[in-house]
Amino acid sequence: MALVPHVAVRRLLEFKLDSSKAESTQHNWIVGLFLNGALISAMVAFFIAQLSKVFTHYYHEQAWDWTRLISSGGMPSSHTALIVALTTAIAIENGTNSSLFAMCLVIALIVMYDATGVRLHAGRQATVLNIIIAEMPPDHPVQVQRVEDGILRALG
């Protein structure tokens, strides 16, 4: 049976912890976070999704935008990647007949449903707002506010 990478890492780190015995229980929960395979899987998936937004933006715009690493929205959905990775890790560790997997699956379905709905409606609203703003005169308060917001973000 092949080991899932996070399980192999956990076993290696558990061996080191057993031989050194952590000094206090305060550090044990922190170490536990770094040994939690499901959490590691979820965070790696989130990071990969965020990183791929940079490449997706470059593919469409022919310009690198590293702010995509920390921005929300766009494709792929980092929220969906996170919850699907978490659900998969829980299924591998606890089995698909566990209550924990069932809970993760329900939450994953809700997140994916909301992500698609929010993206659809946000895209429609953005299209309409861009049309409205483009038709406004340059001295309109909304246009002036956009310039000020841009300056503040650049300094910021």
Q: Note whether 31 and 103 are same-domain residues.
A: no
Q: Note whether 28 and 49 are same-domain residues.
A: no
Total count of domains within the chain:
2
For residue 15, count CB atoms less than 10 angstroms from its CB and return exposed for 0-12, middle for 13-18, buried for 19 or more: exposed
Q: Note whether 60 and 122 are same-domain residues.
A: yes
Q: Note whether 53 and 91 are same-domain residues.
A: yes
Q: Note whether 90 and 127 are same-domain residues.
A: yes
Q: What is the pLDDT of residue 156?
A: 43
Residue 2's domain comprises: 1-35
Within 10 angstroms of residue 91's Cβ, the number of other Cβ atoms is 17
pTM summary value: 0.60
Q: Note whether 148 and 133 are same-domain residues.
A: yes
Q: Note whether 48 and 101 are same-domain residues.
A: yes
Q: What is the pLDDT of residue 105?
A: 95
Is the separation of the CB atoms in 83 and 107 below 8 Å? Answer: yes
59-106 pLDDT tens trace: 878 888 777 777 777 677 888 999 999 999 999 999 999 999 999 999
Q: What is the pLDDT of residue 122?
A: 76
Distance, in Å, from the CA atom of 103 to the CA atom of 38, rounded to the nearest integer, reads 14
Q: Note whether 31 and 49 are same-domain residues.
A: no
In terms of C-beta distances under 8 Å and separation of at least 24 residues, what long-range contacts does 4-9 make, across chains too?
A: 4/37, 4/92, 6/37, 6/40, 6/41, 6/89, 7/37, 7/93, 9/37, 9/40
Arithmetic mean of pLDDT, 27-36:
80
Residue 98, phi then psi, degrees to nearest 5: -85, 155
Q: Note whether 149 and 92 are same-domain residues.
A: yes
